[in-house]
A and B are shown apart, each in its own frame.
Chain A
Amino acid sequence: MFNYCVDPKTIEGLMWLSCYVTTAKHMSFYFSFVVVMGLLSLAAPLAMAFGFAGATASRSSFKIIRSVGKGYLAMIRGIPDIVFFLFIPIALDQAFEYLRHKVLCSDVTEPIRQGNDFVVCAAAKLPLNTAGEWVHDIYGFSLALLAFGFVFGAFAGNVLSGAMAAVPKSQIETGEAYGFSQSQIFRRILIPQMWIYALPGLSNLWMILIKATPLLFLLGIEDIVYWAKELGGIKTGVYEYPHPDWRAWYFGVLMIFYLSLTYLSQSVLDKISARLSQGQATMAGKAG
């Protein structure tokens, strides 16, 4: 980075530190913070979409759709989210490859599952063996993103269906009395009124989502946890910047990062909540 960093063994003190924290690997470490923010900004809307679909399905008048929706919302209550984070990316990967194998290599008659192996033809591999490093990265990240969307969609679905149930019955009945159709009631009455009931749950969910982002590490992504372990480990004299075990320091930095992120989020969410409570017939609304 700096000109005086050519031979780091000859410098010390602050100069050494300034060289140390600007190495290429540290730049990857800093970039992984951007990846976390990217994941947050993509996973939140995706989870809302999944959750909205789940909550709507669980209220459907068709029995099959309703039970699928209810099953989706209920499953996250009983099963730890980590199970889904481990299961979904590999299951999706195998499902995609299986389908591509069936379509692209229909002439291959050998079974795909051979004992402990999962064999698909080269053309069905995802991503293709010839694809560049960045394609693999993007593919891995997308699978992780889908897993986050799926899990947090189920959380959000619970919040939204609870909020939909909290909208006063008389409002719906008034709509019916005025001759609204079911879809009109849904769009014009239920959805606009449910947000205020959903807000506390959704704020909570946002905090949970923030605190779930380091689980990217479990999905094999080179995220902040990966780099903290990598950079913090003991570096012997053969390395350019030898140092003892500094992992506790690196994870301390991650703790501070997350604490400030949740603190900041909390103060913003409190402001939104206060704003939306204004004029509502609740204790918070009257106090303001």
Chain B
Amino acid sequence: MSSCFKTLSDYGLRSLGYGERLLPKADITLCEQFVLIGSGMIWNIYFAVLALLLGFFFATVLALGKNSHLSLFSAPCRLFIFIFRGSPLFIQFFFAYDLFVLLPRLGFDIDLGFLVVTVETRWLTKAWLGALIVLFFNTSAYAGEIFYGALRAVPSQDLESADAFGFTGFKKFRRIIYPTMLRLAWPSYTNEAIFMFHATTLVFFTGFPAWQQKGDAIYYASYFADKTFNPFVPYPIVGFYFILLTLLIIGLFGFINRRLNKHLPTNERKRLRFNKYNLIR
């Protein structure tokens, strides 16, 4: 047991480059597999959380843009959503990576007032930025389509009531349209969030290299499967971690769902059921 604590301190943050440098090669223990694959989960969570947080806002912009009467706004939003929803994420990763590699290697100084940061284009070829951008665009497109559908489904009585009470412009959107849109979109958006977490497993199988063997959960799982030639241990461990994560997301999104539905009479509230029956993907 104490040796497992040793493993935890050696490999617990291995995916970020801390601790033992060499990965276990021979006599691989169950503890090592659990710790290292768990360490890789840090990257899956990093990618999904940031992509979803940023994507949420961009998706709202895309949904409003697609709904616009002016084709100046709606056409680019439609095109963006079509491109990212119509092609496989796997190919998007390859395509984006190969584009980023072709970029000239430049550095830009960004003056933050108290500190000057040099932003370099070669960061785009690293997974932490390049893959994050692809995932961000991808989830924005899917969530944008979900929000657009919900926006179209906002009941017309709600809008008429808003007009009758003198709501206009941004206030009407902020107080009436947006909350209802979110409430209607939420079950599908929960699905999208779960899918996003699952999609992060693709990153290190595409062009983006796992530098110094700093990879995600499935990167280490396939490493173990290659080394021990036994797939029956590492892959179920990944499955275990992801089931935990999925339950966590359902819990969190269910909490938000209850808040969004708070004002409704109890018989009209929709319970959040994760169901691939109504998935939009």
Contacts and interface: CB of A to CB of B under 8 A. Distances in A.
B275 A162 contact: yes
Chain A interface helix/strand/loop/mixed: helix
B242 A262 contact: no
B26 A116 contact: yes
A260 B227 CA distance: 40
A207 interface: yes
B218 A82 contact: yes
Nearest to A155: B276
A232 B198 contact: no
Interface string B91-131: 11011001101100000000000000000000000000000
Interface of B: 26, 28, 82-83, 85-92, 94-95, 98-99, 101-102, 194, 197-199, 201-202, 205, 218, 221-222, 225, 227-232, 235, 238-239, 242-243, 246-247, 274-281
Interface in A64-109: 75-83, 86-87, 90-91, 94
A258 B91 contact: yes
B242 A78 contact: yes
Nearest to B90: A214
Given A78-B243, A251-B98, A259-B87, A83 B238 contact: yes
Nearest to B281: A208
Contacts of A207: 281
Given A201-B279, A245-B102, 8 more contacts: A78-B239, A83-B221, A86-B225, A116-B229, A201-B278, A204-B280, A214-B90, A225-B91
A83 B228 CA distance: 17
Contact of B276 (A76, A82, A214): A76
A214 B102 contact: no
A215 B218 contact: no
Contact of A228 (B89, B94, B231, B281): B94
22 contacts: A77-B274, A77-B276, A78-B239, A79-B238, A79-B243, A82-B198, A83-B221, A83-B242, A91-B231, A94-B231, A116-B228, A116-B229, A118-B229, A158-B276, A162-B277, A163-B277, A204-B281, A214-B91, A225-B90, A254-B91, A255-B87, A262-B85
Contacts of B225: 86, 90
Q: Which are the 10 A-B pairs with shortest beta-carbon distances?
A: A162-B277, A80-B198, A78-B243, A248-B98, A251-B95, A87-B235, A211-B88, A247-B98, A262-B86, A79-B239
A162 to B, nearest CB: 3
A83 B102 CA distance: 31
A43 interface: no
B84 to A, nearest CB: 10
A135 to B, nearest CB: 22
Contact of B232 (A91, A155, A218, A228): A91
A90 B233 CA distance: 12
